[in-house]
């Protein structure tokens, strides 16, 4: 027969940490287990010494705590799964699209063919000349650091898109591959360095620890999705 004292003793033991792998706290108990224990106590109580009302109310409060903790855990799990699922869907939609990254590296790639069937190439980037600027210039460097092309930026401020067709300053078609871009903005009669954001294509995505989203790029680099400056 389970007495009020016995149940209270069990509850106190379950509520406090215990040594050994078999220790179980109130928060670890299922609500059905807790309810079954209370019903068993009521069915086997001594009629001459009925259950103390204060003790019974205390046990109901503990039952509510157990149930509430379980519901909260389930809600957090469902929310986490929902957020992760939403992130996977959103991140997957980026595959095949281009993003502007915090890098001055660009990649010259095939971009189709012209009317005569000749291959056409393109490397894209964005140049932030800043407020108050009136255009400027951008420079394309090969892997050795030599400037192979110099282009003019339109006379305006803000972020300016740049497209290079792979033809150097001497009119020669250069091979596909990686090139570096630098730029300067023009303010009055002086120039100043401008920020360059190379464009790269997303080939796959991955969900990491803490539901972070990683974008794997065609250049072989990987960046956090939050580091993508712009999506095209």
Collapsing DSSP states into helix, strand and coil, what is residue 124? strand
Q: Do 72 and 106 fall into the same domain? A: no
Q: Please say whether the beta carbons of 51 and 41 come within 8 A.
A: yes
For residue 85, is it within any domain? no
Percent of residues, the chain, with pLDDT higher than 90: 28
Give the pLDDT mean for 170-175.
94
63 and 125 belong to one structural domain = no
Per-residue model confidence (pLDDT) at position 85: 59
Contact between 173 and 122 (Cβ < 8 Å)? no
Q: What is the pLDDT of residue 7?
A: 41
Domain that holds residue 159: 98-231
User: Is residue 84 one of the residues assigned to a domain?
Assistant: no
Nearest to 34 by CA among 3, 52, 55, 7: 7
140 and 181 Cβ atoms separated by less than 8 Å: yes
Question: Within a domain: residue 83?
Answer: no
Q: Which tops the pLDDT comparison, 205 or 152?
A: 152
Say which residue, 84 or 5, is predicted with more confidence: 84
Handedness of CA 46, 50, 52, 55 (dihedral sign): positive
Task: Please check whether residue 166 lies inside any domain of the structure.
Answer: yes
Please report, for residues 8, 50, 51, the alpha-carbon distance to residue 1 in angstroms, rounded to integers and kept in the order given: 14, 13, 13
Residue 87 lies in a domain: no
Q: Please check whether residues 158 and 47 belong to one and the same domain.
A: no
Which of 43, 77, 111 finishes a domain?
A: 77
* Alpha-helical regions (H) of the chain: 4-15, 31-43, 53-92
Task: Tell me what the mean pLDDT of segment 197-217 comes to.
Answer: 84
> Helix H segments across 93-205?
none
Shared-domain flag, residues 36 and 135: no
In this predicted structure, the answer to whether residue 208 has a pLDDT above a threshold of 80 is: no
Task: Indicate whether 114 and 226 sit together in one domain.
Answer: yes
Are 111 and 225 part of one and the same domain?
A: yes
Identify whether 82 is part of a domain.
Answer: no
Residues 32 and 125 in one domain: no
Q: How far apart are CA 184 and CA 128, in angstroms?
A: 9
> Burial of 152 by CB count in 10 Å (0-12 exposed, 13-18 middle, 19+ buried)?
exposed
Whole-number Å distance between alpha carbons of 6 and 185: 81
Cα distance between residue 128 and residue 171, in whole Å: 27
Q: Which of 77, 108, 130 is the last residue of a domain?
A: 77
Pair 49, 151 in one domain: no
Q: How confident is the model at residue 221 (pLDDT cuts 50, 70, 90)?
A: confident
Separation in Å, CA 98 to CA 108, 128, 161: 13, 18, 13
The closest alpha carbon to 151, from 119, 124, 190, 188, belongs to: 124
State the DSSP code for 194: -
Task: Read off the pTM.
Answer: 0.58
Of the two residues 40 and 85, the one the predictor is more confident about is 40
Distance CA 197, CA 102 (A): 5
Q: What is the pLDDT of residues 13-41, one digit of tens each?
A: 444 444 444 445 544 555 566 667 766 76
Based on the fold, state whether residues 109 and 157 are members of the same structural domain. Answer: yes
- Pick from 61-70, 101-110, 141-150: least confident: 61-70
Instruction: Give pLDDT tens digits for 134-157.
Output: 889 999 999 999 999 999 999 989
- Same domain for 133 and 170, yes or no, is yes
Domains contained in the chain, number: 2
Residues 37 and 110 placed together within one structural domain of the fold = no
């Amino acid at each position: 027969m389970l007495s009020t004292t016995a149940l209270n003793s069990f509850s106190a033991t379950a509520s406090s940490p215990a040594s050994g792998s078999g220790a179980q706290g109130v928060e670890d108990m299922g609500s059905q287990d807790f309810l079954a224990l209370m019903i068993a106590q009521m069915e086997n109580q001594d009629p001459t010494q009925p259950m103390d009302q204060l003790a019974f109310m205390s046990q109901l409060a503990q039952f509510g705590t157990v149930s509430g903790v379980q519901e909260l855990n389930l809600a957090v799990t469902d929310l986490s799964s929902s957020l992760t699922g939403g992130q996977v869907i959103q991140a997957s939609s980026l595959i095949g699209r281009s993003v502007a990254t915090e890098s001055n590296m660009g990649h010259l790639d095939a971009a189709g063919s012209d009317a005569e069937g000749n291959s056409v190439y393109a490397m894209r980037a964005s140049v932030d000349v800043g407020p108050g600027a009136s255009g400027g210039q951008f420079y394309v460097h090969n892997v050795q650091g030599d400037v192979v092309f110099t282009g003019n930026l339109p006379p305006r401020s803000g972020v300016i898109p740049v497209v290079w067709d792979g033809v150097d300053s001497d009119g020669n078609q250069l091979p596909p591959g990686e090139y570096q871009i630098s730029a300067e903005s023009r303010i009055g009669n002086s120039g100043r360095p401008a920020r360059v954001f190379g464009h790269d294509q997303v080939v796959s995505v991955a969900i990491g620890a803490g539901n972070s989203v990683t974008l794997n790029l065609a250049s072989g680099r990987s960046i956090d999705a939050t580091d993508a400056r712009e999506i095209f």
